[in-house]
C-alpha cells in the first residue's frame, strides 16, 4: 500500500473512532451552518484529527469543515487533499449508520487515491494506483489500538461481487425528480431495474464493489462529497463522469459545487446511460 494511502487510511479510522464516541453519546452538539446544513461535534472533531494527520505531508488540505481558501491561492496547487470529515451528517443525526469519512488525494485535478470509511458498519474502502480494495473491520474495531488494527487490515480486491440484477443507487436524503425520470428511462432501455437507497459516498463504493451498476446523482454535491469515492470507483475499473462535460469529474475547480454526475461500474460504457 502506498505511504500516502496508509496515512489517509489511518487518519480515516482514527477519525471514525472519534465520530463513534459522539454517535453513541446523548448530545451531538447539533447546530446549523450558514447554508442551513447540519453540523455536529463529530464533523468538527473528525476534521481536526484528519487535518493533524495530513499536515505531515505538506500537501494543502481542502476540507468541508476547514478554511475555504480563495481560488487564486488554490489554482496553484498541483496536489491537494480533499476531505469530507463526515459525509452524510443527516444520516448520522438519524442514527442510520450510513455515513462515511472521505479522504482523497487529488493530483492535477484527478483523484488518484481515496479512502472511504463507514465507522458504524466497519466497512473500509480504498483505491490507488495498485487497485481498489475493501476490508471489513472486526465488530469491536474501535477497541483495538490503532497501529495494531491497521496492521491487521487486509483488503479484498474490487470489484468482488457480480450482481445479475441491474441495480441503480439513489440517495436516501436527496432524491430528485430528474433521478426518477432517469430510472424510468433506464427501465425502458434495460428492462427491470432494482433501485436501492443508500446514504453518503457508500453509493460510489457499492458501484466499485459490484453490488450496483449505476449511481446517477442529478442533484447538487460538492467536491469533497465525491473525490474519495471517485478514486475508489476508478481504481476498481469503473468511472464517475460529469453530466455536462461527459468526462471524468475534475477537482480543485474555481466552483466547488459539482455538476450532476453518473458513476458506472467496471465493464459498463457510460455512453449507454445518458438518457435524460
Summarised one tens digit per residue, pLDDT across range 176-206 is: 788 889 999 999 998 999 999 999 999 999 9
Q: According to the model, what pLDDT value does residue 36 have?
A: 83
Q: What's the CA gap between 260 and 182, in Å, rounded?
A: 12
Beta partners for 83? 63, 103
Give the CATH number of the domain where residue 98 resides: 3.30.540.10
* Residue corresponding to grid cell 459525509: 87
- 198 within domain boundaries: yes
Q: According to the model, what pLDDT value does residue 34 have?
A: 81
Distances 30 to 20, 64, 145, 219, 224 between C-alpha atoms, Å: 15, 16, 29, 25, 21
Question: Of the residues 102, 131, 157, which one is the last residue of a structural domain?
Answer: 157
Together in a domain, 193 and 230: yes
Which residues fall within 8 angstroms of residue 7, CB to CB, at 6 or more apart? Answer: 53, 54, 56, 57
Q: What's the CA gap between 113 and 81, in Å, rounded?
A: 10
Q: What is the mean pLDDT of residues 57-78?
A: 96
Check if the beta carbon of residue 236 is closer than 8 Å to that of residue 263. no
Cα-Cα-Cα-Cα dihedral sign, residues 26, 32, 36, 42: negative
Together in a domain, 186 and 98: no
Together in a domain, 52 and 132: yes
- 246 within domain boundaries: yes
More confident residue, 179 or 106: 106
Distances 163 to 23, 118, 247 between C-alpha atoms, Å: 32, 22, 26
**188 lies in which domain range?**
167-272
Check if the beta carbon of residue 83 is closer than 8 Å to that of residue 63. yes
Question: Of the residues 128, 157, 186, which one is the last residue of a structural domain?
Answer: 157
Q: According to the model, what pLDDT value does residue 173 have?
A: 61
Question: Of the residues 93, 123, 157, which one is the last residue of a structural domain?
Answer: 157
Amino acid at each position: 500500500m502506498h505511504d500516502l494511502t496508509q496515512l489517509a487510511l489511518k487518519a480515516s479510522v482514527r477519525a471514525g473512532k472519534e465520530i463513534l464516541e459522539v454517535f453513541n453519546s446523548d448530545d451531538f452538539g447539533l447546530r446549523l451552518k450558514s447554508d442551513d446544513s447540519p453540523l455536529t461535534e463529530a464533523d468538527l472533531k473528525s476534521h481536526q484529527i484528519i487535518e493533524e494527520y495530513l499536515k505531515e505531508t505538506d500537501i494543502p488540505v481542502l476540507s468541508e469543515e476547514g478554511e475555504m481558501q480563495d481560488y487564486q491561492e488554490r489554482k496553484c496547487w498541483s496536489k491537494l487533499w480533499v476531505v469530507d470529515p463526515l459525509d452524510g451528517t443527516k444520516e448520522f443525526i438519524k442514527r442510520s449508520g450510513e455515513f462515511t469519512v472521505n479522504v482523497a488525494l487529488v493530483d492535477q485535478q484527478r483523484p488518484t487515491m481515496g479512502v472511504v470509511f463507514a465507522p458504524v458498519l466497519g466497512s473500509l474502502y480504498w483505491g490507488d494506483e495498485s487497485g481498489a480494495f475493501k476490508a471489513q473491520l472486526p465488530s469491536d474495531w474501535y477497541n483495538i489500538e490503532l497501529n495494531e488494527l491497521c496492521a491487521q487490515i487486509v483488503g479484498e480486491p474490487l470489484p468482488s461481487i457480480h450482481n445479475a440484477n441491474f441495480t441503480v443507487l439513489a440517495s436516501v436524503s436527496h432524491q430528485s425528480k430528474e433521478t426518477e425520470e432517469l430510472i424510468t428511462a433506464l427501465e425502458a432501455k434495460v428492462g427491470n431495474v432494482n433501485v436501492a437507497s443508500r446514504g453518503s459516498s457508500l453509493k460510489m463504493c457499492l458501484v466499485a464493489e459490484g453490488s450496483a451498476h449505476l449511481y446517477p446523482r442529478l442533484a447538487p454535491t460538492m467536491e469533497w462529497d465525491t473525490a474519495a469515492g471517485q478514486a475508489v470507483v476508478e481504481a476498481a475499473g469503473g468511472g464517475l463522469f460529469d453530466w455536462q462535460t461527459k468526462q471524468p469529474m475534475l477537482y480543485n475547480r474555481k466552483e466547488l459545487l459539482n455538476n450532476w454526475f453518473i458513476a458506472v461500474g467496471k465493464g459498463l460504457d457510460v455512453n449507454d446511460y445518458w438518457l435524460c
